[in-house]
A and B are shown apart, each in its own frame.
Chain A
Amino acid sequence: MKRMTRILVFSAMLIILFSALSSVAAEDRFPRPEFQSEYELPSTTAPSPQDNLFSYIDTAVLIILLILTSYFALKMRTRTGIFICSLFSLIYFGFWKKGCICSIGSIQNIALALFSNTYVIPVFVALFFALPILFSLFFGRVYCAGVCPFGALQDLVAIKPLTLPRWVENTLGIFPALYLGLSVLFAATGSGFIICRFDPFVGLFRFGATFEMFITGGIILLIGVFIARPYCRFICPYGVLLKWASALSRWHVTITPDECIQCKLCENTCPVGAIRAPSPALEVEKREVGVKRLVILFLILPFVMAGTGLFFSTISHVFAQLHPQVQLTAQVLKEDRNITRTTTDASDAFRATGISLDTLLNQTDHILSQFHLGAGLFGLYTGLIIILAIVKTSVLRKRTGYEPDREACVSCGRCFEVCPKEQVRRKKGKEHG
């Protein structure tokens, strides 16, 4: 008997299935029971998200760490202090806050907020974006030294850093700037946050992440044993902004505040190869030659920019493939033209919404034109970056002693200890104290 009812109900279900296919929101197929017994409807739990309060705490921690690191790096000149800051930030922003939100990713929130009509960001996100750059404008890359959890993690594993040839460093160093441009392009067009997608360390911070995330993070850390801070130097798009700010910074860490005696002891202590030798006493090339090269470079700059701009705007459709709606439109069109018989979940879902194909095509056209413009701008920017990189290598700066390069130096403080002048200074300081 019971069996019978079951079969009946199941066939009823099948009938309902067919009717369900025509109606999207099919609810209330079965009447809600009226219980005879004392049965109370359980309530559905709704655990609340973290309080807004936490974002204030995060911002406060960010500011305090920035101030402390600046103080330790520039005033106290203690590697230990910087190291403690970075360890704390690794634990707090990395493992405790699970790496979100970070200043690196905030570039995308800012970009999207600037270009989208609907997207809003909480105030603290804007602060996470701006504060480290402002600090960099005053004190150099102190954010990288003691506040960035990525930097801290890589700093920990940099056990046997090798010195890379300068040209390798310079060539690979262009990539972060391009990555910055791309991430702004994709964020502004609403295609996605590629910095977050290709974030190598967030998987480690969250332990339970996907296998690939774990592997990429692991590989980068392994490389980081021999090539210090590979993410910082050759990938990090936020580091680019910090570099630019640091190049202009008001103050900056020095190997020693006293006069350099050119003992060369510090030459190889810098894990990121930022220490530059004094300029040769006799100039290798005449000033005129250098100036001439500069003039030529600036003359060809507009042509290079126009070329790259044109190039990227003609291939803008390649970039546009990353936008989910562009993919969807391609799939829907393929189905309509009978090129493919298999539908995707996305195309099924689109058809279920009942939105007309024309609406979809219109929206997609709009996205494509945005990409056309955006990719063109990205091209102009790429041209500029490449020429500037060449300019940088051909400008001779006068240096009377060993100095950290303001762009490359991450203010880690490793070079302080080896400088004999610094040792003398510290002893003096102790005697006085």
Chain B
Amino acid sequence: MEKNKMNRREFFKKGLQALFGLAIAGTTGFSLFKTSATETVWQIDPDICIQCGRCAENCVLSPSAVKCVHVYSICGYCDLCSGYLRTDPKELSTGAENRLCPAGAMTRRYVEEPYYEYVIDESLCIGCGKCVKGCSAFGNGSLFLQIRHDRCVNCNECSIARECPANAISRISSRNPYIMKGAKI
């Protein structure tokens, strides 16, 4: 009798064991139909981004893994760069108080009359998108935000993507990890 009971218990346990194992293997196996050989990374689509500034605040890294990127082939090299200077200056000069970038990450260099080259220092950029906003509103839109993969730790759920009001951030293939503006021209 006692032995019989043990056997029943063992049998029950074995059955559950097999069931549970199958359930886990089945779930995983089924989701394997949806696997890709290449991995994916998070990226901002600059055409959807509205430069709201949340990228600077919501990344799990501080400063953010998002930086301003400059594609020179689109840039107009304007003297009065609307990404570099505020459009409501108290006085028209290139003094620090009239510059847009709060982190002082953007510098300019004279190239030739009347052109200036604008350079972003990524180590200073906080990804706030102020310059991007200026550039897309009044300029050629050669400045835009991208998640920089030398910094991004590729969170399972990107916390900027979660907060992005424009839904501009999604996973893309790691083979082509940037959505650069110039590529489309």
| Interface of A toward B, CB cutoff 8 Å | 3, 6-7, 9-10, 13-14, 16-17, 20, 25-33, 35-37, 39, 41-44, 46-50, 52, 55, 98, 100-102, 105-106, 108-110, 113-114, 119-123, 125-126, 129-130, 133-134, 137, 192-193, 196-197, 202-203, 206, 208-210, 213, 241, 244-245, 248, 250, 324, 344-346, 348-349, 352-353
Contact = CB atoms under 8 A, between A and B. Distances in A.
Contacts of A348: 50, 165
A10 B36 CA distance: 50
Interface in B107-160: 111-112, 115, 117, 119, 136-141, 148-150, 152-157, 159
A13 B35 contact: no
Contacts of B166: 345-346, 349
B161 to A, nearest CB: 9
Top 10 A-B pairs, shortest CB-CB distance:
A30-B76, A47-B150, A346-B165, A345-B165, A349-B166, A193-B157, A49-B149, A130-B28, A113-B31, A196-B157
25 contacts: A6-B80, A6-B92, A7-B92, A10-B80, A25-B141, A27-B141, A30-B140, A32-B73, A32-B74, A35-B111, A35-B115, A42-B72, A52-B174, A55-B39, A108-B156, A114-B27, A120-B35, A122-B38, A123-B35, A123-B37, A125-B35, A130-B28, A192-B157, A209-B61, A346-B165
Contact of A345 (B50, B75, B117, B138): B50
Interface string B37-63: 111110000011010101000001110
B138 A13 contact: yes
Nearest to B51: A345
Contacts of A344: 165
Contacts of B152: 49
Contacts of A41: 72-73
Given A39-B111, A123-B32, A26 B69 contact: no
Contact of B31 (A29, A114, A203, A349): A114
Contacts of A98: 153
Contacts of B52: 345
B112 A35 contact: yes
B156 A44 contact: no
Given A35-B115, A120-B40, A348-B50, 10 more contacts: A28-B74, A33-B77, A33-B115, A41-B73, A49-B41, A100-B156, A114-B34, A120-B34, A123-B32, A250-B17
B78 interface: yes
A126 B28 contact: yes
Contacts of A17: 137-138
A119 B31 CA distance: 10
A126 B148 CA distance: 26
Contacts of B38: 52, 122
Contacts of B162: 192, 197, 324
B76 A42 contact: no
Contacts of B28: 110, 126, 129-130
A310 B182 CA distance: 54
Nearest to B89: A10
A44 B69 contact: yes
B36 A122 contact: yes
B62 A208 contact: yes
Nearest to A117: B34
Contacts of A39: 111-112, 117
A47 B156 contact: no
Contacts of A42: 72, 117, 119
A64 B42 CA distance: 29
Contacts of B77: 32-33
Contacts of A134: 21, 24-25
A35 B112 CA distance: 8
Given A134-B24, A206-B60, A248-B13, A13 B30 contact: no
Interface in B151-185: 152-157, 159, 162, 165-167, 174, 177-178, 180-182
A248 B16 contact: yes
A208 B63 CA distance: 8
Contacts of A197: 157, 159, 162
Contacts of B79: 9
A113 B34 contact: yes
A35 B182 CA distance: 19
Contact of A52 (B20, B39, B71, B159): B39
Contacts of A49: 39, 41, 149, 152, 154, 174, 177
Nearest to B69: A44
B99 interface: no
Contacts of A203: 60
